[in-house]
Structure 1
Amino acid sequence: MQTTLHTPASVAGTGLHSGSSARVTLKDAAPGTGIVFRRVDVTDRDNLIPALWDRVLQSPLATRIVNGDGVMVSTIEHLMAALAGTGVHNAIVEIDGPEVPILDGSAATLVRAILAAGIRQQDATLEAIEVLEPVEVREGPAWARLEPAAGPEMDFAIDFPDAAIGHQEKALGLSNGAFVRELCDSRTFCRQADVDAMRAKGLALGGTYLNAVVVDGRGC
């Protein structure tokens, strides 16, 4: 069955790339709505942005979606993960700025807010996509692949020359609350060279959060 939030859930903080403050409030939505962002600070044009694959802009280092009137919202990854990981199918996401706050760099704060608000079932069946054959994308040395499976599973690895990161891997079945227990507090990280490159492009302006990045191969 489809689900939505039982009561509203709110968080506030600073955007990682814009450095802008924003408040996010998750509200219930009717069956079949999906996840829809509403830019409440935009009042002169359509301010609704459905979180759909065909609304995604090419935006390295953050996921950005846009509607037909050019209204955008950025860095939605952790919020979308929190909603998916807690099993919320329908929600209106009200936000008063252009970027979702980075919070502690993970989805954990959002997950806690959603669980505190509660999740209720709706009188509507859920449609799902079944992966019938492998689908793969590659960019340089990085790649990601979807494969058919009996249930939701993930298997990933990273490999960095920096001693503080090194080679890490994890395989996890994503049923029965595993995302909440084992994955939602995984934090975004980067190296000082990455921060310098992003700031040269006018990104990564959320300075408070960036005190927690990995700097020159050392935990900072």
Structure 2
Amino acid sequence: MAIGLLGFQTTIAAPLTLSGIGVHSGANVSITFLPAEADTGVVFQRMHDNGDVTELRAVSSQVGNTDLCTVLGFSAARSVATVEHVMAAIYAMGLDNVLIEVNGAEMPIMDGSSYPFVEAFEQTGIVPLGVKRRYIRIVKPVRIESGGSWCEFRPYDGTRFEVEIDFDCPLIGRQKWEGDMNAKTFKAELSRARTFGFMSDVERLWASGHALGSSLENSVVISDDNTVINVEGLRYAKDEFVRHKTLDAVGDLALAGTQFIGCYRSYRGGHKMNANALKALLNDTSAYEVVETSAPRRKPAARDFVTVNAPEFAPWSA
């Protein structure tokens, strides 16, 4: 079953607040999720100390830096960084409309995964709204390549991810995760996979002002002898690494501004490749169509979707 194919748009049932530190800034940050009306989409509101508010829609056109994380906005003073983990939870749980107030420049890293956000949404509740959801359905392949890396969208009756990574590190090596995506699958197989890094990169990252909040409480750390430093080890046998890369891909593609019907495949991808693949798709209007379903209470078949006027629905360009 594709992600969140409920027929109608959703929002959270009540406000909720979470707090933590930014993995790169090391600063304490608090975020509050607020219910939103249909067709609002996902909107980040950065609350500044002087009372100003920077509003950033969670859409492809607002993606700035993608070097180490996904950033919305194009200046450090008016941006929100590391949005991918919360966006993955929002997308996979079928949450369409929410306001996210954040009192800092970066989302809290929590435990390095999406699970704390999934758990919070489940406890608070997600409610349907009386407006039909629209989807981007892939109708022809779109592919980008860069060096030895590639990403592509392909037509598929459902929502599917096939993500493969290939590291020189013998602990990781070549790993692949593939499967049809829905809330149950995401929670069980991907949501608890943590971000990871190498001890050999720490000093370089610190010198550039990154990873200042990284610790064994929120990251899987690989030592110089290619072992996991974390006492508890890995959460998903040996392939927590590719599961986290898949989690990242879910969050990055959530910036389409709506859910998609199709298969996303990548080899040695990352935030930048995910963002560029999404832009390539959205820039090719012959590669997709915008549809809505008339079958909200069961898994829709192809006949249940109707095509709508795509030019009237382009949240990714907002």
The TM-score normalised by the length of structure 1 is 0.92
- Equivalent residues of 1:17, 1:206 under 8 A apart: yes
Q: 5+ residue gaps in structure 1?
A: none
Picking from 165, 174, 178, the partner of 1:167 is 174
Counterpart in the other structure of 2:268: none
Counterpart in the other structure of 2:272: none
- CA-based RMSD of the aligned residues comes to 2.0
Whose helix fraction is larger, Structure 1's or Structure 2's?
Answer: 2
Q: 5+ residue gaps in structure 2?
A: 1-7, 230-318
Distance in 2, matches of 1:84 and 1:58, equals 21
- Equivalent residues of 1:45, 1:69 under 8 A apart: no
State percent identity of aligned pairs.
Answer: 31
Distance in 1, matches of 2:194 and 2:144, equals 23
Distance in 2, matches of 1:141 and 1:197, equals 24
Per-residue CA deviation, residues 86-124 of structure 1 (Å, 9 max, x unaligned), is 110000001111100111111011110111110000000
Where 2:130 maps in the other structure, the secondary structure is: coil
Where 2:194 maps in the other structure, the secondary structure is: coil
Distance change (3 Å), C-alpha of 1:43 and 1:148: farther
Counterpart in the other structure of 1:212: 220
Counterpart in the other structure of 2:55: 48
Distance in 2, matches of 1:29 and 1:67, equals 25
Deviation at 1:219, TM superposition (A): 0.4
- Equivalent residues of 1:163, 1:218 under 8 A apart: no
- Equivalent residues of 1:50, 1:67 under 8 A apart: no
Where 2:119 maps in the other structure, the secondary structure is: helix
The TM-score normalised by the length of structure 2 is 0.65
- What code does the residue aligned with 1:188 have? T
Distance change (3 Å), C-alpha of 1:122 and 1:80: same
Counterpart in the other structure of 2:199: 192
- Residue 180 of structure 2 is aligned to residue 180 of structure 1: no
Picking from 128, 140, 144, the partner of 1:133 is 140
Distance change (3 Å), C-alpha of 1:76 and 1:176: closer
Distance in 2, matches of 1:30 and 1:41, equals 24
Distance change (3 Å), C-alpha of 1:59 and 1:159: closer
Distance in 2, matches of 1:46 and 1:170, equals 39
**Equivalent pairs, count:** 220
Counterpart in the other structure of 1:66: 73
Distance in 2, matches of 1:90 and 1:191, equals 36
- Residue 38 of structure 2 is aligned to residue 31 of structure 1: yes
Deviation at 1:125, TM superposition (A): 0.7
